[in-house]
Amino acid sequence: MTLQPKCEDVETAEGVAITVTGVAQVKVMTDKDLLAVACEQFLGKSVMEIKAVVLQTLEGHLRSILGTLTVEQIYQDRDEFARLVREVAAPDVGRMGIEILSFTIKDVYDKMDYLSSLGKTQTAAVQRDADIGVAEAERDAGIREAECKKEMMDVKFLADTKMADSKRELELQKAAFNQEVNTKKAESQLAYELQAAKEQQKIRLEEIEIEVVQRKKQISIEEKEIERTEKELIATVKRPAEAEAYKMQQLAEGQKLKKVLTAQAEAEKIRKIGEAEAISISSVGKAEAESMRVKAEAYQQYGDAAKTALVLEALPKIAGKVAAPLARTHEIVILSGDGSRVTGEVNRLLAELPVSVNALTGVDLSKMNQFV
């Protein structure tokens, strides 16, 4: 809990009425016995009521301590004042199960401007001491400045004298040095020119060698270029021509081989077909010969009867061949004004049929009744 105890117009040890405000952080102790004490004291009370009780206790102790101190002690040493309040109030609030975590003085003021006057007096004293100190410091500074100037002039005179001596000595040394330097420079210039001529000659020799090397490299490059061109011509002209010739040769040989193989296959085919046909013809011939032999034996055995049977078997085929053109005829019209004449024509055709058969086959149909 955060509390703000405040004591207004409390007289100090010197009788000056001042107002003091502070800030305190308190909490309920967690020790079992002390917690029981806190429960006994505050059980049933609200937080505001608890704050009020602790606040009144702190304000009472704050008043009592203010009465024992002067305004200067309270104002100048607030930490000590706060410590006294904690030490005095801690046992009382501790008996209620409350612990003071911290207590600080927030503000101290009075209505009679005592603190302001006290500050002004102190400020004036400090200002006075400061002015005196400044005057004394300026006096001491002036004395010390004069002494320093005198010492500076003495040192400067001594330094100027030494400087003139040093300058004269320096000029003498410079003249000697210049003479020596000029002599050395002349010798150095001659040596430089000689060395430059030698170096120029070396440079020219190096340039000649570089030109020779470059010419050799150029010749080598030209030879490699000729070789590359030759290889390029071989790769782009000769090799493709050889490849094309080889291709044509291979194609010709392939065509030739194809024709040979085709001819061989065709000959083999014809030979096989000929052999098959020969075998077939031979087999058919043998079968027909055998059939003819059997028929001949049958004809020889049965004589005219066999012949007649053959003719009878052939008659339907002959009739079919003869009637084949008539099969495409829709109708036959016989022009005759006499009906008996039509009948006579039909009878005549039927009467001539055995004669036609006899002329074609040699078989007399009029004698067929002998075999039926």
Residue 371, pLDDT score: 46
90, 79, 29: which is closest to 57 by C-alpha?
Answer: 90
* % of the chain surpassing 70 pLDDT: 75
Residue 354 has pLDDT above 80, yes or no: no
Residue 268, pLDDT score: 80
Tokens coding 305: 């009867």
Tokens coding 306: 């066999």
Tokens coding 368: 């067929």
Residue 57, pLDDT score: 84
Least confident residue range of 76-80, 90-94, 173-177: 76-80
- Write the pLDDT tens digit of every residue in 293-306: 776 676 666 566 66
- Of the pLDDT bands very low, low, confident and very high (cuts 50, 70, 90), residue 233 is confident
Residue 58 has pLDDT above 70, yes or no: yes
- Rounded CA separation 369/365 (Å): 8
Residue 314 has pLDDT above 50, yes or no: yes
Cα 293 to chain centroid distance, Å, stands at: 99
Residues 6+ apart with CB under 8 A from 310: 299
- Of the pLDDT bands very low, low, confident and very high (cuts 50, 70, 90), residue 342 is low
What does the pLDDT average to over 229-246?
Answer: 76
Residues 6+ apart with CB under 8 A from 40: 97
Residue 118, pLDDT score: 64
Least confident residue range of 79-83, 150-154, 181-185, 334-338: 334-338
As separate numbers, helices (DSSP H) first and strands (DSSP E) second, the chain gives: 8, 4
More confident residue, 117 or 286: 286
Count Cβ neighbours within 10 Å for each residue of 155-192 and write b for 16 or more, e otherwise: eeeeeeeeeeeeeeeeeeeeeeeeeeeeeeeeeeeeee
Residue 350, pLDDT score: 61
Secondary structure of 270-337 in HEC code, one letter for each residue: HHHHHHHHHHHHHHHHHHHHHHHHHHHHHHHHHCHHHHHHHHHHHHHHHHHHHHCHHHHCCCCCCCCC
Residue 372, pLDDT score: 46
Q: Pairing mode, if any, of strands 6-11 and 98-109?
A: unpaired
Secondary structure of 212-280 in HEC code, one letter for each residue: HHHHHHHHHHHHHHHHHHHHHHHHHHHHHHHHHHHHHHHHHHHHHHHHHHHHHHHHHHHHHHHHHHHHH
Residue 341, pLDDT score: 62
What one-letter code names the amino acid at 137? A
Cα 284 to chain centroid distance, Å, stands at: 86
- Classified as helix, coil or strand, 98 is strand
What does the pLDDT average to over 207-228?
Answer: 84
What does the pLDDT average to over 261-273?
Answer: 80
Residue 84 has pLDDT above 60, yes or no: yes
Residue 336 has pLDDT above 60, yes or no: no
- Rounded CA separation 347/208 (Å): 141
Residue 292 has pLDDT above 80, yes or no: no
